[in-house]
Copies of this chain bind each other. A is one copy, B any other.
Amino acid sequence: MTSSVVEPCTFEDMQVDLEKNVQQDVRSQWVLNAPEPPSPWHVALDSFRKTVSNYREKTSSLSDQSCGTLLLSVLHVVFPILVWGRSYTVAKFRKDFLAGLTIASLCIPQSIGYATLANLAPQYGLYTSVVPPLIYAVMGTSREIAIGPVAVVSLLLSSMVQKLVDPSTDPIGYTKLIFLATLFAGIFQTSFGLFRLGFLVDFLSHAAIVGFVAGAAIVIGLQQLKGLFGITHFTTKTDIISVLKAVWEAFHNPWNPHNFILGGSFLVFILTTRFVGKRKKKLFWLASIAPLVSVILSTLVVFLTRADKNGVKIVKHVKGGLNPSSINQLDFNSPHVVDVAKIGLIVAVVALTESVAVGRSFASIKGYQLDGNKEMMSIGFTNIIGSLTSCYVATGSFSRTAVNYAAGCESLISNIVMAITVMISLQFLTNLLYYTPIAIIASVILSALPGLIDINEAYKIWKVDKLDFLACAGAFFGVLFASVEIGLLVAVVISFAKIIVISIRPSTETLGKLPGTDLFCDVDQYPMAIQIPGVMIIRMKSALLCFANANFVKERIIKWVTQKGLEDDKGNSKSTIQLVILDTSNLVNIDTSGIASMEELYKCLSTHGKQLAIANPRWQVIHKLKVSNFVSKIGGRVYLTVEEAVASCKSNHF
């Protein structure tokens, strides 16, 4: 191959060139005669058809079977437990039983705390730990997820619903709206799965989730200060400034340190056991039961010392008994029904994001794949049933799933064990919770928060991608200083703005020939690449040549080529350039503004007696250039590679 393109042509070179010309012409024809790419409707229709045929295939493969087998097949798809349940063993059950008890011990105080965070009576948190895990256990495809109320969703729900109805003045109306939001969230989640809209969960980028969860953890922690310090007058706002102001004001009124002493000492106890558990894997169970032990011990202390009479705040009455029906509480004639539907949509996405992220990370550890669409349907159905049985939005909890996995769970049976344990507590043990100090509940929740703040991951994001870190920081500070919704909004906006900026960044790179190859690469990325005198080879750094950048790129190229005496970074004069080659290999698409700019570029180069050639256009690009007659305007100078463009234009004695 001629690596001598840089030197002046000899007679032999020209002969080789002539032979190559024939091949090049053939290849140029390949580029120009490519079949027409599918139109946008075609692509959309095709994707729709695939979804439908996917369902139809499933149905038709079923319809071949007899009625009984058909029913069984459907049941197997809807209730995976019927499949994996058949290979379930006693050995597995022993592990699941222990894991179930472990997560139940963590679940009871957490449920009460999260219900308080959601401005609901404590029993609703416990209810949400009964029905949803049972439903999910028979429908879900993950093996480790622990279903129930979670902190972020509780916070998000309360911060949005309390704007519609004040929970302190109208707790019944507020609770009704929460159930309605839960129903809507369930319906949205189910339909996401049904219509295979799994990508909606991906709309929150990894970086945004890291920032959002860390910010939410701090906000949740700040909310616990009310319980930990036993503050009576607190703010309903969630931003850090309002909360710290409320705490500061509380300190200026007489306050009772007993709450803090009790809560603080048990918080130290829980954190110590966790530290020990992390060091010595055998003592892992210590960390797992520490929250329950704290609850029992502190309740005993308060009961024996009657500390509640000295200002220690206690849970007081928790309504016992199993989940009552809440069908009659779903009020579709509420004036807020549209707002509640919106809240349901936001909560649905956030809850799914958490659950799918948790499920995927543990599935990846155990080496199996999670079906995102089936997962969404299971969680959605769980919440629909939940909204009818006095539960609020449930999803996969990060902290309890981690404990479930560490406790050695084998299947979703551990969720059933947990649900039955909570059920027994609801039925028989609610009276014992009367003297449980609120400060302990706060401590249990506080102890789960450090796991949500992933500084290492944030540092890794900073190292790898500065703009991603911006989304992460934006979500974090948005949640912290404004509100949970604004944090979410900031995260989504920054993530999509980043996509736009990268896609249309009006920037170009100059290509040079890599020594010993026919390849042309960015001279900045590959400093050994050699630029060819008299030829300017340019590649867009963006993925689109469109209205937002085409004009800039055009003007820059014209400036480079036409201004005399202008030198590039390496001191080559650009005034002698006779040929401009546009390497369009990374242009995914072009629009009419882009084509118009290229036409103007061609016109301008022509008036200065310079040539223009296109190398390696993608499918959509060459199609549009052909349809708009641009290819015929530039005399068909379209080539498969930059090398062929250089060689062809050289041999044509431009």
**Cα of A292 to Cα of B141 in the assembled complex, Å:** 79
Interface check A609, CB cutoff 8 A = no
Interface membership of A203, Cβ < 8 A: yes
A467 on interface, CB distance cutoff 8 Å: yes
Task: Report Cα–Cα, A468/B504, bound state, in Å.
Answer: 16
> A148-156, A375-383, A397-405, A585-593: which one contacts chain B?
A585-593
For the complex of A and B, list the 7 residue pairs with the smallest distance between their C-beta atoms, beginning with the closest.
Answer: A543-B543, A205-B547, A206-B593, A503-B503, A586-B586, A525-B619, A464-B628
Complex Cα spacing A624 to B460, Å: 11
A590 nearest CB across to chain B (Å): 8
Whether B504 lies near A499 (C-beta < 8 A) is: yes
Once the chains bind, are A544 and B499 in contact (CB under 8 Å)?
yes
Chain B nearest CB from A465 CB (Å) reads 5
Q: Of the candidates B35, B202, B528, B558, which one forms a contact with A30 in the assembled complex, judged by CB atoms under 8 Å apart? A: B528
For residues 472 through 511 of chain A, which have their beta carbon under 8 Å from a beta carbon of chain B?
495-496, 498-500, 502-504, 506
Question: Does any Cβ of B come within 8 Å of A627's Cβ?
Answer: yes
Are B592 and A464 within 8 A (Cβ)? yes
Q: Which of A79-87, A113-121, A548-556 contacts B (4 or more CB under 8 A)?
A: A548-556
Q: Given the complex, which residues of B lie within 8 Å of A203, measured CB to CB? A: 547-548
In the complex, the answer to whether A503 meets B464 with C-beta atoms within 8 Å is no
Nearest B residue to A470 by beta-carbon distance? B40
Known: A202-B549, A552-B202. A30 touches B541 (CB 8 A): no
Contact of A592 with B468 in the complex, beta carbons under 8 Å = yes
- Known: A464-B628, A466-B40, A525-B34. Contact between A589 and B619, CB under 8 A? no
- Check A207/B593 contact, CB under 8 A, given A503-B588, A543-B543: yes
Instruction: Give which listed residue, B27, B495, B551, B618, contacts A202 with CB less than 8 A.
Output: B551
A600 at the interface (CB under 8 A from B): yes
Structural contact, B586 and A519, CB atoms closer than 8 A: no
A588 touches B502 (CB 8 A): yes
Q: Does A169 contact B (CB under 8 A)?
A: no
Interface size class of A (residues with CB under 8 A): 35 or more
Please give, as numbers and ranges, the residues of chain B lying within 8 Å of A527 by CB-CB distance.
35
A596-B206 contact given A546-B499, A552-B199, A588-B586, CB 8 Å threshold: yes
Answer whether residue A316 sits at the interface, using C-beta atoms and an 8 A cutoff.
no
Task: State the Cβ distance, A2 to closest chain B Cβ, in Å.
Answer: 13
Cβ of A204 < 8 Å from any Cβ of B?
yes
Chain B CB within 8 A of A650 CB:
no
A607 within 8 A of B: yes
User: CA separation between A284 and B336, bound complex, in Å?
Assistant: 65
Q: Which residues of B contact A596 (CB under 8 A)?
A: 206
Bound together, the chains give a CA A550 to CA B607 distance in angstroms of 45
The majority secondary structure among interface residues of chain A is: helix
CA A198 – CA B549 in complex, angstroms?
11
Interface residue? A565 (CB, 8 A): no
CB-based contact B516/A627 at 8 Å: no
Does A461 sit at the interface, judged by CB under 8 A? yes
Chain B CB within 8 A of A248 CB: no
CB contacts (< 8 Å) of A463 on chain B: these are 627-628
| Cβ contact within 8 Å between A592 and B460 | yes
The answer to the question of A96 belonging to the interface, with a C-beta cut-off of 8 Å to chain B, is: no
Quick one: which of B467, B500, B551 contacts A496, CB cutoff 8 A?
A: B500
Q: Which residue of B lies closest to A206 (CB)?
A: B593
Report how far A542 CA is from B587 CA in the complex, Å.
10
Is residue A603 within 8 Å, beta carbon to beta carbon, of the partner chain?
A: yes
Closest chain-B Cβ to A432's Cβ sits at a distance in Å of 45
Q: A461-B592, A586-B588, A588-B586 are in contact. Are A41 and B199 (CB under 8 A)?
A: no
Q: How far is the CB of A586 from chain B (nearest CB, A)?
A: 4
Q: Could you give, for residues 578-613 of chain A, a 1 whenever the CB lies within 8 Å of some chain B CB and a 0 otherwise?
A: 000000011011011101100010011001000000
A524 close to B (CB within 8 Å):
yes
Is A410 an interface residue, CB under 8 A from the partner? no
A464 and B624 contacting across the interface, CB-CB below 8 Å: yes
B-chain residues with CB within 8 Å of residue A328 when the two chains form the complex: none
Give the residue among A39, A499, A528, A607 with the most B Cβ atoms within 10 A: A499
Instruction: Assess whether B592 is in contact with A23, with CB atoms less than 8 Å apart.
Output: no
Q: Which B residues touch A624, using CB under 8 A?
A: 464-465
Asked whether A301 is an interface residue with its Cβ less than 8 Å from the other chain, the reply is no
- Judging by beta carbons under 8 Å apart, are A37 and B525 in contact? yes
User: C-beta contact mask, A22-33 vs B, less than 8 Å → 1, else 0?
Assistant: 010001001000
Q: Which residues of B contact A466 (CB under 8 A)?
A: 39-41
A528: nearest chain-B partner, CB-CB? B30
Indicate if the CB atoms of B640 and A519 lie closer than 8 Å: yes
Would A204 and B525 count as touching, CB distance under 8 A?
no
Q: Mark A197-219, 1 if CB is under 8 A from B, else 0.
A: 01100111111100000000000
Q: Is A522 an interface residue (CB 8 A)?
A: yes
Chain B proximity of A40: nearest CB distance (Å): 5
Does A517 touch B at the CB level, under 8 Å? yes
Q: Say yes or no: A628 contacts B207, CB within 8 Å.
A: no
Flag if B543 contacts A207 (CB, 8 Å): no
- Asked whether A514 is an interface residue with its Cβ less than 8 Å from the other chain, the reply is yes
| Interface assignment of A51: CB less than 8 Å from any CB of chain B | no
A618 contacts B464, C-beta separation under 8 Å: no
Contact partner of A207 (CB less than 8 A), chosen from B1, B504, B550, B592, is B592
Q: Nearest B residue to A502 by beta-carbon distance? A: B589
Is A88 part of the contact surface with B, judged by Cβ < 8 Å? no
Q: List 16 A–B pairs whose Cβ atoms lie within 8 Å, in order of A's numbering.
A: A27-B517, A37-B525, A198-B552, A205-B593, A206-B591, A207-B591, A369-B558, A464-B595, A464-B627, A465-B624, A495-B548, A499-B503, A502-B503, A514-B640, A541-B588, A542-B543
- 9 other A-B residue contacts (CB within 8 Å) besides A498-B591, A522-B618: A41-B466, A206-B547, A206-B593, A207-B547, A372-B551, A372-B555, A464-B628, A499-B544, A542-B588
